[in-house]
Amino acid sequence: MDASSDHPGAPEAVALVDATPPREHRGIGPFLFEPFARHTAERIRARAPRTVLETACCTGIVTRRLREALPRDAMLVASDPDERMLAVAHRTVGAAAGVGWVRADLCKLQFGDGDFDAVVCQFGLMFAPDKVAAVREARRVLRPGGSFLITTWAPLERNPLVALVHRTLGAMFRDEPSPHLAQSSFDYGDPDLLNNLLLAGGFQDVVVDVVEKATSSPSAHELAAGLIEGYPQIEEIRLHGEARLSAAVTAVAAAIRRQFGDAPVRARITALVASAVA
């Protein structure tokens, strides 16, 4: 697929929207996403694809590492359903990087059948309303023999710092139940579930690895703010007022400080990294 063609899925210019990096980029991006972005990029480098699609690129942390790992003449297209995220990602990677940017729903991609040699989705599948559709779309846009590399979080018990945040918030809001406080992007961490999903989506040669990484953050407060404001529960917490939000950040920062240290915060995080062949 030629990035400059009139193909209906060809990369488009990123709209001029507010590109201020959100908390999930500044506060927790280096802590949660960067270690696995590097891992993903190295695994893609080993496959030497010529055309790569990233779905749910969010703020571009993975995109940047993919662009560094791929040859300059390899085509990289980064997509996300949120125009604001695309604008932040464009700034993260840089205008001269040679990345195509497309607003796209990973459950209904606008690319042609077999357009790509590889598809990458890091920490996006958990938010897809129809996970089978998302996997089938990745399979459709891959050429026969193409590679799909997908990363989801392992369960909370394998990510103790994030589990600590959930316990702390749960204690704070025990008398003020909120639907999203009980939900987590860490709930899709069963290797068998991921394996079966990829098989159901038409993939073969599925391999699911449990990968643990060391990580750090400059301070407990910065990490607490990022973890709270970058996750679905933020809107529910804000319903209780800005004072409660500030109190939540303070409480979570104190809990992190006690168990993991303050400056820097050091921890280990674990994810499932699955590869499959179209």
**Residue range 70-82, pLDDT digits in tens:** 999 999 999 999 9
Is the pLDDT reported for residue 25 higher than 70?
no
Mean pLDDT, residues 223-228 = 88
Query: Contact at 8 Å (CB) between 41 and 34?
Result: no
Residue 36 to residues 12, 29, 59, 167, 208, Cα–Cα distance (Å): 27, 10, 14, 25, 15
Which tens digits make up the pLDDT trace of 127-160? 899 999 999 999 999 999 999 999 999 999 999 9
Is the pLDDT reported for residue 12 higher than 80?
no
Is the pLDDT reported for residue 249 higher than 50?
yes
Question: What confidence score (pLDDT) does residue 96 get?
Answer: 75
Question: What confidence score (pLDDT) does residue 172 get?
Answer: 84
Query: What are the φ and ψ backbone dihedral angles of 78, each rounded to 5 degrees?
Result: -110, 130
Paired residues of 142 in beta bridges:
116
Question: What confidence score (pLDDT) does residue 9 get?
Answer: 43
Mean pLDDT, residues 252-262 = 96
Please give, one letter per residue, the 3-state secondary structure of 203-226: CEEEEEEEEEEEEEECCHHHHHHH
Percent of the chain at pLDDT > 70 equals: 85
Question: What confidence score (pLDDT) does residue 26 get?
Answer: 61
Is the pLDDT reported for residue 2 higher than 70?
no
**How many other CB atoms sit within 10 Å of the CB of residue 242?**
9
pLDDT band at 228 (very low <50, low <70, confident <90, very high): confident
Question: Which carries the bigger pLDDT value, residue 11 or residue 32?
Answer: 32
Question: What confidence score (pLDDT) does residue 24 get?
Answer: 53
Helix axes 61-69, 83-93, angle to 10 degrees: 40
- Supply the mean pLDDT for the chain: 87
Percent of the chain at pLDDT > 90 equals: 67
Reported pTM: 0.87
Query: Contact at 8 Å (CB) between 208 and 274?
Result: yes
Question: Which carries the bigger pLDDT value, residue 85 or residue 240?
Answer: 85
pLDDT band at 240 (very low <50, low <70, confident <90, very high): confident
Question: What confidence score (pLDDT) does residue 251 get?
Answer: 94
Q: Which of 68, 86, 70 is nearest to 78 (CA)?
A: 86
pLDDT band at 115 (very low <50, low <70, confident <90, very high): very high
Is the pLDDT reported for residue 95 higher than 60?
yes
Mean pLDDT, residues 2-10 = 40
Which tens digits make up the pLDDT trace of 36-78? 999 999 999 999 999 999 999 999 999 999 999 999 999 999 9
Residue 175 to residues 123, 166, 185, 253, Cα–Cα distance (Å): 31, 15, 23, 21
Is the pLDDT reported for residue 237 higher than 80?
no
